[in-house]
Chain A
Amino acid sequence: KQEVTQIPAALSVPEGENLVLNCSFTDSAIYNLQWFRQDPGKGLTSLLLIQSSQREQTSGRLNASLDKSSGRSTLYIAASQPGDSATYLCATSSGGFKTIFGAGTRLFVKA
């Protein structure tokens, strides 16, 4: 059974700092991995999707990498801003309806 773990559970950084969020998963037989952003009391917004055949995806200041063999993904945020404060979740999909979510990393960027 797939398990997705995100470390750290919470992170506080000063504005402008580059940071890395970690996601690990136990079963490497995945179709894709998605990173989401969730603001308090809101739904999830998809940030990046990495297909199983890809190593990384980039969107603006965000870069996500995927290493299936080691069961790891990272989300790199460059030049963090207070508006980046949110919870970031990763989720693996093994096809069909088998999408497993991590509990998220709560990020706070101090102005």
Chain B
Amino acid sequence: EADIYQTPRYLVIGTGKKITLECSQTMGHDKMYWYQQDPGMELHLIHYSYGVNSTEKGDLSSESTVSRIRTEHFPLTLESARPSHTSQYLCASSRTGATNEKLFFGSGTQLSVL
């Protein structure tokens, strides 16, 4: 079973609030990812990290930011939440290895911005 944890599971907040979604993994994986998923739709990569102090933006434009100060921790921050940010946010990790690089996912954070 994958050891990757996301908190909170659900979050309802008002417009303009600053929020941080937490993601931690205990598998020692070097790569970590944040995906955004709307109901019935594909996952879209919004941020990724190769390792400590390495972060990059993904394919989907996002107003969020991330940090990777420790290998196991990859939090995502929204400075000023808007209703358009309402979505499910999924954190994932993997260990570098080209052909057999399996992705492990957390349980997700369902964010609702009123």
Contacts and interface: CB of A to CB of B under 8 A. Distances in A.
B43 A43 contact: no
Interface in B19-63: 31, 33, 40-43, 45, 48, 56, 58
B40 A34 contact: no
Say which size band chain A's interface belongs to: 20 to 34
A44 B90 contact: yes
Given A97-B33, A97-B48, A49 B58 contact: no
A45 interface: yes
Interface of A is mostly: strand
A34 B102 contact: yes
Interface stretch (B67-75, B77-85, B104-112): B104-112
A71 interface: no
A99 B45 contact: yes
Interface residues of B, number: 27
B105 A52 contact: no
A63 interface: no
Interface in B90-114: 90, 92, 98-108, 110
B42 A102 contact: yes
Interface of B: 2, 6, 31, 33, 40-43, 45, 48, 56, 58, 88, 90, 92, 98-108, 110
21 contacts: A32-B99, A32-B100, A42-B107, A42-B108, A43-B92, A43-B105, A44-B43, A44-B92, A45-B2, A46-B2, A49-B100, A52-B99, A95-B98, A97-B31, A97-B56, A97-B58, A99-B45, A100-B42, A101-B42, A103-B40, A106-B40
